[in-house]
Structure 1
Amino acid sequence: MVDRVGSEPQYEVFADEFLEHARDGLYNAHYDRPACLELLGDVDGRTVLDAACGPGLYAEELVARGAHVIGCDLSPRMVELASQRIPSGEFHVHDLNHPIDWLPDSSVDLVLFALAVEYVDHRTELLRELRRILRPNGALVVSRPHPTGDWLRLGGNYFETRVIEEVWSRGWQVRYWVAPLERAFEELRAAGFLIEQLVEPRPTLAGAEVDTERYQRLLTQPTGFLAIRAIPDPRRT
């Protein structure tokens, strides 16, 4: 049984294909991105770290809303695509299993960590790093697959934290962690965060035109993602 995801940039081999898929796809453009952007709130004039930035689709919208964006991703090709998409951004190739030593303490207002925590082996340590670089009045927005949806699809022991290996519909081979909701919350607590808001998103109406069947499923079943806004716990230094 595999017990770690590792530091291989899995999305490197299909980065361009992923950009094409995520730009207007139901799950990204009409489901996760709107939910995360709403939780981030007003970003005008604020510095945002886009952790695991992918090809820069979230960063593009953040810049359009007035943010200064710093991004990082494990995949060099993703960083290249993001840099091309947002010339004003600052993007780095970085493995989030390691300290973000190129950012000082209290240097960003917001952190976006969309659909990537499940690829990190050392999650609590990473979340501590994100808390370190956040200003005291800052916030972290993290989205991830809904644990109930994972369990309904995969079966087995819902409470077991384990690594899954799959081949997705486009032939993309992926390896990632699944964990119960309590584990996700405990990692945030252990890293010094308080959960301010939890959202189980519904797709935007425009998503019905992209994929009617999956749109209806996301409206009625916990088979997609969830998103959390967390703030640094002021009781902890």
Structure 2
Amino acid sequence: MSVGPEPQYEAFADEFLDHARDGFYNAHLDRPACRDLLGEVDGLTVLDAACGPGLYAADLVERGARVIGADISPRMVELARRRVPGGEFRVHDLARPLDWLPDASVDRVLFALAVEYLDDRVAVLRELRRVLRPEGALVLSRQHPFGDWLRHGGNYFEPRVIEEVWSRGWRVRYWLNPLEQTCEELHEAGFLIERLLEPRPPAEAATVDPDRYARLTREPTGFLAIRAVPDPRA
């Protein structure tokens, strides 16, 4: 059982950019939560792992960070370079070592909405810990596991790969994992969880989409965001 190495978003990279730029879940849930957990980034070096089309990177550069981005999709990297000419982006499969980055070379790692697509998550997280400075932090977001379970049913505690077609016709494969497993994988990779957020939309988002706003303020059907730091005992 595996997701496999293919760059799934390559087929709809441009559509995804159009969607995620102002999409309710991305613009009003995940990006604000990740920004909060990253904290001040002025003068810091941030690795944007699975950078997508550069929406997070653009905000980071605007706030004074040096951004190094990587994504498995060549088209996503092309879009990120176009959007954020001040960043450094490369095509890279996170299932492979980040051999182009030295140990303890970045201050923050952003790993947004991508962990579900990786089969050996502990190995990836260990590599992200390797490139982090001891005083650095990893910010990871993922689909909320309770929301996944509400949608798909079955045994919440049983990790499994599912394939589904999203509303725009995008076919995706990814892992369903319980919250406990994400926490254990971070622990196994040498991280301590510092904060965990279940993002809800801000009040002003009620005017953008009242129905989604109402649902996401009462149901765990959005995302989960975690800030973790390297465990000095590891």
TM-score bucket (shorter structure):
over 0.9
Q: Which amino acid aligns with 2:59?
A: E
Aligned 1:1-237 pairs, distance under 5 A: 3-236=1-234
Q: Which amino acid aligns with 2:100?
A: W
RMSD: 0.7
Measure how far apart 1:207 and its partner are: 2.4
Q: Which amino acid aligns with 2:205?
A: G
Residues 71-130 of structure 1: CA deviation (Å, up to 9, x unaligned):
000100000000000111000101111111110100000000000000011100000000
Distance 1:63 1:234 in 2: 29
Measure how far apart 1:132 and its partner are: 0.1
Distance 1:166 1:102 in 2: 34
Measure how far apart 1:226 and its partner are: 0.6
Q: Unaligned regions of 5+ residues in structure 2, if any?
A: none
Q: Which amino acid aligns with 2:78?
A: E
Identity %: 74
Number of residue pairs aligned between Structure 1 and Structure 2: 234
Residues 126-174 of structure 1: CA deviation (Å, up to 9, x unaligned):
0000000000000000000111110011000000001010000000000
Measure how far apart 1:212 and its partner are: 1.6
Measure how far apart 1:210 and its partner are: 2.8
Q: Which amino acid aligns with 1:151?
A: W
Distance 2:162 2:47 in 1: 28
Distance 1:209 1:92 in 2: 38
Distance 1:105 1:14 in 2: 34
Measure how far apart 1:209 and its partner are: 2.8
Q: Which amino acid aligns with 1:12?
A: E
Q: Which amino acid aligns with 1:230?
A: A
8 A contact 1:72–1:93 mirrored in 2: yes
Distance 1:206 1:90 in 2: 34
8 A contact 1:25–1:210 mirrored in 2: no
Q: Which amino acid aligns with 2:43?
A: G
SS at match of 1:220: coil
**TM-score normalised by structure 1 residue count:** 0.97
**TM-score normalised by structure 2 residue count:** 0.99
Distance 2:29 2:204 in 1: 10
Distance 2:208 2:23 in 1: 7
